[in-house]
């Protein structure tokens, strides 16, 4: 065994799906094994539930994919209370010909309460690594992960719910708190509104609930949309469809105006919802217009968001006990529920190898000389094992590092000699030694668990850093808006005072022609289509892609401001009141002229973007032949709706206010188009 033991340094897989739920199924472990075996057999890996439940497995090659199935089961008894925990893990690994690898892991925990407290509770139960005993599960739980080990050149994939989870929930009743999980759309009538309301406001709920209001225009299309979405988010969300207008009205009355959904729209109610919700916009609405414009892609966008939320859920707190049960489930004290383990240092000579202990063998063979760090590590672990086995190694001098290999080797030989002589004198030491080895294996398992948790925490820290950056940018933008708002309010007050001085009193009067702006991007474009000096192209699909994000309403307002400014500029150009560029207009807008901050506006792209055919083509959009004979124009001028982050919306336009059409032609409203360094 070369090198001292280190935690595994394998780059972690990308978790693309995670479902966790409770079940009251009486024989959950066996039922799950049957369903997993059936699912794996359907993937051309013949395996039985009996094989899985005895720690066996199978492998097969089919469809250019190598598949390996493994099972592991075990039980753990809390000696102080007599409680018993049965556990199982079943895993399928699929290696594709292109180098991608998919791993599906199904973990089961089934607790059994003791009929009575253990009369002679043992106090020698080993503590966990840091002495904190994990909580005992109150109910049986199921945990399914889907991981993607992708080739670096390939894009991330979120394929939707695995068929295995749909099979499980079809056969085994699963719940998230009080919420039933299913792959079907729940049709809620007026008589079940209170039940739905109870699910939404359940403080223990951990999965989103997606509610559709009736769509009188395209009910069949909405039903298909909801069914597809329910299938894709099985196990990580629940899809509900209000049965008719009466049930929708009753629902809106029961949840309040701040949480209602209407007009064929869809609303995603996240966990943590309260009746007096302080942030109702956190629970996003997707309008019927956006769903129609984007079609199936809007379902995919919602699915991807829900799946991303699912991967942020931490493992069950009782999972440490499951690992403990699995480690004790094998007679050989193996750890089947681990990824390919890192090499641990050998404590004793491998059976069949020449012994190094003088006096216990007729010959001594010189071994390959190990590195000092490896020998020191082995000696420390050997001392720990002796202590756990009830053998006191203090009589052998502890060699401090740094030390020569010969000195460390002499220490090891003395420790091994003490061990073997103690075993010869006390046959019971072998059993203690085996138990000590098992406990050390468990400690290694816990170290591996902590390594995985550390990796996940580092990933979460990266996500938090991205959110922090977005928050800082938002704060800067909010500060600028507050400053502009105060400047405009001061100017309004001054103008009203000037008008009052001339006996024109307008304070408190409604502004003529003021409109209520839509709360989503697609409807904002529909409203902007009425502006006389704009021509908006076929960009509703890209715009609808923005509507599935929490910032959609703010983006919609800013997009309207930008389009209104373009229209005002185009009108001034058409009348000859303005002769300069749109950027100059925003830098010094004329009195009464709608404008946006000049920092939003860029009239050109970088030289790289302009000269690279792929990037230039991405910014080339349809225009009337009066503008370009080819019917297409490169639109490098753009408005930055957001300065950074992802998504990062942009408006690309062509200024023909000095040409034959006298209009601004909008080619694109959507997420940031690709650049040399962006996608």
Give domain limits for the chain: 11-343, 372-447, 521-670
The CA distance from 216 to 219, in Å, is 6
- Tell me the two tokens of residue 284: 């996003």
Residue 602 banded pLDDT, cuts 50, 70, 90: very high
Average pLDDT, the chain: 81
* Per-residue pLDDT at 116 exceeds 60: no
Q: What is the pLDDT of residues 205-256, one digit of tens each?
A: 999 999 999 999 999 989 999 999 999 999 999 999 999 999 999 999 999 9
Q: Of the spans 367-376, 473-482, 629-638, which averages the highest pLDDT?
A: 629-638
Looking at per-residue pLDDT, the higher value among 288 and 127 belongs to 288
Chain-centre distance for alpha carbon 194 = 31
pLDDT of residue 432: 66
Beta-carbon count within 10 A of 32 CB? 28
The residues, ordered by sequence, that sit 6+ positions from 334 with a Cβ below 8 Å of its Cβ are: 441
Which two structure tokens, joined as six digits, stand for 208? 């989103």
What pLDDT score does 573 carry? 93
Mean pLDDT along residues 103-110: 95
pLDDT at position 11, please? 42
Residue 37 has pLDDT above 70, yes or no: yes
Quote the CA–CA distance of 255 and 163 in Å, as a whole number. Answer: 34
Query: What are the residues whose beta carbons fall under 8 Å from the beta carbon of 432, sequence distance 6 or more?
Result: 388, 389, 390
Q: What is the mean pLDDT of residues 56-68?
A: 92
- pLDDT attached to residue 51: 94
pLDDT of 426 higher than 70 = no
pLDDT at 49: 95
User: From CA 326, how far away is CA 110, in angstroms rounded?
Assistant: 13
- CA 196, 198, 200, 204 torsion: positive or negative? negative
pTM (2 d.p.): 0.65
Q: Which has more confidence, 511 or 265?
A: 265
DSSP secondary structure, 283-339, as one string: S-EE-HHHHHHHTHHHHHHHHHHHHHHHTTSPPPTTHHHHHHHHHTSSTT---TTSS
Q: Among residues 179, 166, 167, which one has the least CA distance to residue 234?
A: 166
> Above 50 in pLDDT, residue 29?
yes
Is residue 667 very low, low, confident or very high in pLDDT (cuts 50, 70, 90)? very high
pLDDT at 115: 52
Supply φ then ψ for residue 69, to 5 degrees. Answer: -115, 135
- Percent of the chain whose predicted confidence (pLDDT) is above 90: 43
Whether 158 shows a pLDDT value over 80: the answer reads no
Q: What is the pLDDT of residues 440-462, one digit of tens each?
A: 766 766 676 677 667 667 777 77
Mean pLDDT of 598-616: 92
At 563-587, the pLDDT tens digits run: 999 999 999 999 899 999 999 999 9
> What confidence score (pLDDT) does residue 363 get?
41
Between 424 and 539, name the one with better pLDDT.
539
């Amino acid at each position: 065994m070369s090198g001292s033991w280190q935690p595994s340094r394998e780059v972690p897989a990308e978790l693309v799906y995670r479902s966790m739920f409770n079940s009251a199924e009486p024989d959950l472990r066996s039922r799950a094994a049957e369903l997993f075996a059936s699912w794996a057999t359907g993937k051309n890996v013949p395996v039985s539930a009996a094989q899985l439940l005895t720690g066996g497995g199978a492998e097969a090659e089919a469809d250019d994919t190598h598949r390996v199935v493994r099972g592991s089961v075990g039980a753990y008894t809390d000696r102080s209370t007599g409680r018993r925990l049965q556990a199982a893990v079943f895993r399928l690994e699929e290696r594709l010909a292109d180098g991608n690898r998919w791993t599906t892991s199904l973990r089961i925990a089934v607790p059994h309460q003791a009929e009575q407290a253990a009369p002679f509770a043992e106090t020698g139960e080993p503590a966990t690594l840091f002495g904190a005993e994990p909580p005992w599960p109150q109910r049986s739980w199921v945990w399914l992960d889907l991981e993607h080990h992708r080739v670096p050149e390939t894009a991330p994939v979120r394929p939707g719910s695995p068929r295995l989870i749909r099979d499980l929930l079809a056969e085994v009743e699963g719940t998230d708190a009080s919420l039933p999980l299913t792959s079907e759309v729940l049709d809620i009538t007026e008589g079940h509104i209170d039940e739905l309301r109870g699910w939404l406001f359940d403080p223990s709920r951990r999965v989103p609930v997606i509610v559709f209001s009736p769509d009188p225009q395209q009910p069949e299309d909405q039903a298909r949309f909801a069914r597809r979405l329910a299938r894709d988010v099985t196990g990580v969300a629940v899809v509900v469809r209000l049965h008719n207008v009466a049930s929708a009205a009753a629902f809106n009355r029961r949840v309040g105006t701040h949480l209602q959904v209407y007009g064929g729209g869809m609303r995603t109610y996240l966990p943590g919802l309260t009746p007096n919700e302080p942030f109702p916009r956190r629970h996003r609405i997707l309008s019927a217009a956006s769903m129609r414009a984007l079609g199936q892609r809007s379902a995919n966008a919602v699915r991807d968001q829900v799946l991303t939320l699912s991967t942020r859920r931490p493992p069950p707190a009782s999972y440490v006990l499951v690992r403990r049960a699995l480690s004790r489930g094998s007679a050989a004290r193996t750890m089947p529920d681990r990824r390919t383990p890192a090499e641990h240092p050998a404590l004793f000579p491998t059976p069949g190898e020449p012994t190094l202990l003088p006096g216990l063998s007729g010959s001594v063979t010189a071994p390959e000389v190990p590195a000092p760090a490896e020998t020191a590590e082995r000696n420390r672990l050997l001392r720990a094992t002796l202590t756990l086995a009830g053998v006191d190694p203090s009589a052998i001098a502890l060699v401090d590092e740094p030390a020569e290999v010969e000195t460390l080797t002499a220490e090891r030989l003395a420790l091994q000699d003490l061990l073997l002589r103690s075993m010869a004198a006390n046959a019971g030491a072998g059993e203690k030694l085996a138990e000590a080895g098992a406990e050390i294996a468990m400690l290694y398992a816990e170290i591996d668990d902590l390594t995985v948790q550390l990796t996940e925490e580092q990933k979460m820290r990266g996500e938090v850093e991205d959110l922090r950056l977005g928050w800082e940018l938002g704060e800067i933008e909010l500060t600028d808006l507050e400053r502009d708002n105060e400047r405009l309010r001061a100017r309004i007050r001054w103008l009203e005072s000037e008008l009052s001085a001339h006996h024109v009193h307008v304070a408190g009067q409604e502004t003529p022609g003021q409109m209520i702006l839509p709360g989503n991007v697609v409807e904002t474009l529909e409203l902007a289509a009425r502006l006389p000096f704009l021509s908006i192209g076929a960009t509703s699909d890209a715009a609808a892609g923005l509507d599935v994000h929490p910032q959609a309403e703010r983006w919609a307002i800013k997009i309207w401001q930008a389009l209104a400014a373009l229209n005002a500029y185009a009108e001034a150009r058409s009348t000859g009141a303005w002769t300069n560029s749109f950027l100059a207009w925003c830098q010094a807008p004329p009195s009464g002229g709608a404008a946006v901050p000049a920092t939003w506006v860029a009239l050109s792209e970088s030289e790289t973007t302009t000269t690279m055919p792929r990037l230039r083509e991405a910014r080339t959009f349809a225009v009337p032949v009066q503008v370009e004979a080819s019917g297409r124009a490169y639109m490098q001028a753009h408005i930055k709706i957001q300065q950074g982050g992802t998504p990062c919306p942009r408006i690309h336009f062509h200024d023909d206010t000095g040409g034959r059409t006298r209009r601004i032609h909008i080619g694109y409203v959507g997420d940031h188009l690709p650049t040399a360094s962006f996608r």
